[in-house]
Structure 1
Amino acid sequence: MSNAHASGLDRTLHNLKNGFLQGVLRGCHRGLLSTHDYSKLMVCETLDDVKTLLCSTDYRALIQDLPSPLHSSTIVSTCTQKMVNDFNIFRSQAGEPLGAFLDFLTYGYMIDNVVLVVTGVLHERGVHELLQKCHPLGSFDSMASIAVANNMRELYRMVIVDTPLAPYFSQCSNQEDLDELNVEIMRNILYKAYLHDFMKFCEGVGGVTATSMMDILGFEADKRAITITVNSLGTELSRNDRGSLFPELGSLYPDGHRDLVSCNDFVQVQATMEMYLSYEGFGTGLIQTNDKPLEKIFSEEKMKKCQSAFKEQFNLASFYAYMKMREQELRNLMWITECIAQDQKHRISDGLINVMND
């Protein structure tokens, strides 16, 4: 069978399996807030004004009955349900491999939820309060048991063992106590294993999905390697331990990883980034010689990659991209509403990330 014929067959099968959901996805994508929507949000004087504006968007059905007085957290948690509802529609009607692909999207939220609850318990926060802060797409039945786990082994046995995260936990489940350093190490070990597993799955899917996800997940791996390096400077984490946490994919792997392991300060990290990465502004953002902190530059680049995923047809990566774009939109809403609530409207533009390239 010729490559062209095989490609045509793959596209036909993709349309048969996922054509309807791709149409639903494109409709959801068009419902993301536009640049014009953001310009109107930026001149809102009160949270009630924000509610009124959002009632003219895809959030209308969720937010129209919210009572006053409004709070930033209430608005954002209510709008988050839009993201959850969309995901549930995709997942309930997905065949394979889309169903398994969508399941992978939830694993990152599970990791974040575990870390959030463990860290909150370490700071003596109430479990009920912490569970309310967890992302709904990463919830699972045994999360409340985190409060009684005293070390990594107990965390695995009481919480993780019956979740999809269990295979990723093998390097964490030792006798070490649950303290902030070990929890952060656990987060990075879990994410490393997760990214490797997700990429392996996407390579099995092949085609445009594999190519797009290699770009997106490779970028995520680069981001994590740089962030781990910056956060570990001046700490007790050894160079070897630092390197063991880097996901083994992305533009920095493997040569850039060796250089990052050897870095002793921000300037050396900046030099490594400029040597291996083509992302404009990353090096200067690291030491903040311009107006953009590194995290904002990362977020802007990620949105560009998500936007690119929608330029290709027959591509499961567009489902990942949409969820991440909606997630960033919710962060934008939190920033905007907090600035309004705290009478800091002049700072709104500082924290906004462009989601839609419109």
Structure 2
Amino acid sequence: MEMLTFNATGGYLEGVVRGYRNSLLTSQTYSQLSQCETLEDLKMQLSATDYGNFLANEQPPITTSTIAEKATGKLVGEFQYLRDNATGPLREFLDYLTYAYMIDNLILLITGTLHERDTHELLDRCHPLGHFDGMEALCVATTVEELYNSVVVETPLAEYFKECLSASDLDDLNIEIIRNSLYKAYLEDFYNFTQRLGGTTAIAMGSLLSFEADRRTLNITLNSFGTSLTKEQRAKLFPSIGRLYPEGNNALARADDVDQVKQVCDMVPEYKAWWKEGGMGGGGGGGGEEGSEVEELEGKMFREETRLNRIETMCQFNYSPFYSWLKLKEQEIRSITWIAECIAQDARDRIGDFVHV
């Protein structure tokens, strides 16, 4: 039935996003970018791709931050075109994609304010897709309640924020708890929305959001070791969706070290493989060795996310290609930025350490 009715409301924009997907950089282009000697060379190579003349008005010397900013601006323009032309459930679906950026912007602003960073600098660093009215007021909030009543209550994040009101002061630990509490509520709400849509969208997005929930659960666990976050607090931050839920989540809530996290990952074949590739494994080393394992695991989770999204951008008659294209484009910009930074820092030995989209 989807094949008969989808094109009536979503066919045109699905065609547009498929065109966006086909403009993603190829392996050959990444190879050419990696061989550039200067950022001006990189700019020239990018001008031969779909990025075109996005840096034409920038005066030399070009910087890595400028490349990242302008590439993000191109992404925002493409997404806004989709959003402006979407109607009905697709418009609501695209709105959900912006909520994650709103959360990131909110946390960026209150963290920067806590550490007395310049307000204008913080606002400039906010992602355009996460802009909401009253963002400037976040820079003067001193308590969680004030933060909610002055700004958040008028945003789509209001429902997600209610669980955070029990926190008192805006210190580093509470800000991290707020961040993860918001993402937990957001992922659960987005998941439930996609399941109500039904059909292929429910199946595809169920898989993608389940992976995202598992990744956040694993990251929260690993990053909580050696901190003042209690096991009870940790457990409350885990999304109640994902392939690890509920047995894996319960075990991770009790975990004390990386070896126990590895045992939980054994429950899912794809996750189990992460610890076998490249020599990763349990085996107790020192703190530095354990930290290296965690960093390596995060890289493998990024690559798995990219693999899943590549698959979904090839599907039709559902909304998952919109989500997956956005994720792949974000990763592409991170990869370009990494290459540019390695060129600027003359770190040739690490220039290939990026995720190929």
TM-score, normalised to structure 1, is 0.93
Aligned residue for 1:92? 84
Match of 1:13, SS state, is helix
Report deviation, 1:311. 2.9
Contact 2:210 2:243 in 1 (8 A): yes
Report deviation, 1:273. 1.1
Report deviation, 1:17. 0.5
**Structure 1 stretch displaced more, 304-313 or 99-108:** 304-313
Structure 2 gaps of 5+ residues are 282-289
1:45 aligns with 2:37: yes
Aligned residue for 1:333? 336
Report deviation, 1:299. 0.5
1:11 aligns with 2:3: yes
Amino acid at match of 2:356: N
Question: C-alpha deviations, 1:236-280, integer Å up to 9, x for none?
Answer: 211111111000011100000111011111111111112345235
Contact 1:288 1:294 in 2 (8 A): no
Report deviation, 1:300. 0.3
Aligned residue for 2:124? 132
Structure 1 gaps of 5+ residues are 1-6
What is the alpha-carbon distance in structure 2 between the residues aligned to residue 142 and residue 277 of structure 1? Answer: 45
1:353 aligns with 2:355: yes
What is the alpha-carbon distance in structure 2 between the residues aligned to residue 174 and residue 253 of structure 1? Answer: 25
* 2:296 equivalent among 293, 297, 302: 293
Change (3 A) 1:291 1:344: farther
Change (3 A) 1:279 1:335: same
* 2:47 equivalent among 31, 52, 55: 55
Aligned residue for 1:4? none
Change (3 A) 1:280 1:348: farther
Q: CA RMSD in A?
A: 1.6
Report deviation, 1:288. 7.1
Amino acid at match of 2:325: Y
Contact 2:248 2:264 in 1 (8 A): yes
Question: C-alpha deviations, 1:79-129, integer Å up to 9, x for none?
Answer: 111110111110111121100000000000000111111111111110110
Matches within 5 A, 1:187-202: 187-202=179-194
Amino acid at match of 2:255: C
What is the alpha-carbon distance in structure 1 between the residues aligned to residue 341 and residue 272 of structure 2? Answer: 29
1:310 aligns with 2:334: no
Aligned residue for 2:287? none
Contact 2:109 2:122 in 1 (8 A): yes
Match of 1:61, SS state, is coil
Question: C-alpha deviations, 1:260-311, integer Å up to 9, x for none?
Answer: 0111111111111123452354235574787971111011000111011123
* 2:93 equivalent among 88, 94, 101: 101
1:266 aligns with 2:258: yes
Match of 1:65, SS state, is coil
1:344 aligns with 2:329: no
4+ residue runs over 6 A deviation: 288-292
Q: Of the two structures, which has the highest relative contact order with CA contacts closer than 8 Å and spacing of 6 or more?
A: 2
* 1:320 equivalent among 302, 309, 323: 323
What is the alpha-carbon distance in structure 2 between the residues aligned to residue 141 and residue 194 of structure 1? Answer: 19
Contact 2:265 2:272 in 1 (8 A): no
What is the alpha-carbon distance in structure 1 between the residues aligned to residue 264 and residue 352 of structure 2? Answer: 30
Question: C-alpha deviations, 1:305-357, integer Å up to 9, x for none?
Answer: 1011123210101000000000001111111111111111221112x1021xx
TM-score, normalised to structure 2, is 0.94
Identity across the alignment (%): 45
Contact 1:309 1:315 in 2 (8 A): no
Matches within 5 A, 1:15-164: 15-164=7-156
Aligned residue for 2:284? none
What is the alpha-carbon distance in structure 2 between the residues aligned to residue 208 and residue 61 of structure 1? Answer: 37
Report deviation, 1:64. 2.4
Amino acid at match of 1:300: R
Aligned residue for 1:171? 163
Change (3 A) 1:118 1:218: same
What is the alpha-carbon distance in structure 2 between the residues aligned to residue 96 and residue 244 of structure 1? Answer: 34
Match of 2:270, SS state, is coil
Question: C-alpha deviations, 1:12-62, integer Å up to 9, x for none?
Answer: 221010111111111110111110110000000100001001101111132
Amino acid at match of 2:266: E
Report deviation, 1:175. 5.4
Aligned residues: 346
Question: C-alpha deviations, 1:203-222, integer Å up to 9, x for none?
Answer: 11111111011110000000
What is the alpha-carbon distance in structure 2 between the residues aligned to residue 103 and residue 321 of structure 1? Answer: 15
Amino acid at match of 2:37: E
Contact 1:145 1:159 in 2 (8 A): yes
What is the alpha-carbon distance in structure 1 between the residues aligned to residue 226 and residue 293 of structure 2? Answer: 24
Match of 2:20, SS state, is helix
